[in-house]
Amino acid sequence: MTKTGTKPSLGEWFCLSAGRESFTINPETDRQHLFGDKQWAEDIKRHLQRSLVLNEPVRLVWVGQYGIGKTHRLFHTVHLVETEPMDFLPVYVVCADITTLPLRGRGHGHPGPRHWFG
C-alpha cells in the first residue's frame, strides 16, 4: 500500500521512471536505446557508415513476426542518423498489408499491392 492507502501501480511497484507505467518499449520515445543483441546496433552503424563511404543508398530490411522489435530498430536507426553526423533523410512508410506486396521468389502471377504510393 502507498502512503495514501491505495495499491501501487506497476510503475510505482518497480520504481520505474516518471511517466512509465510498464516495461513495454515505446519505439518512438525509447529510440535512443536498442534493446537486444549489442551486435544489432553495431551492424546498423556499420551499414550506415558503409553507405556514406561508398555513396550508395542504405538498404536495411527487417522482416519478422509481430512484436519482435522491427519498428524499434527502425526508430533507433533514425535516432543514430539524427544524433551522429550522417547525411541521410529518414523516410518512414507504413504498409498496412505486407502480404499483398510482390516479393522476390514469388511467381509473376502473384497479385500486386492494393495501393501504390508515388
pLDDT (tens digit per residue) in 22-68: 777 787 888 888 887 888 889 999 999 999 999 988 887 788 888 88
Instruction: State the pTM of this model.
Output: 0.64
Confidence of residue 115 (pLDDT cuts 50, 70, 90): very low
* C-alpha to C-alpha distance for 70 and 10, rounded to whole angstroms: 26
Confidence of residue 76 (pLDDT cuts 50, 70, 90): very high
* C-alpha to C-alpha distance for 69 and 88, rounded to whole angstroms: 22
List the end-to-end C-alpha distance of the chain, in Å, as a whole number.
56
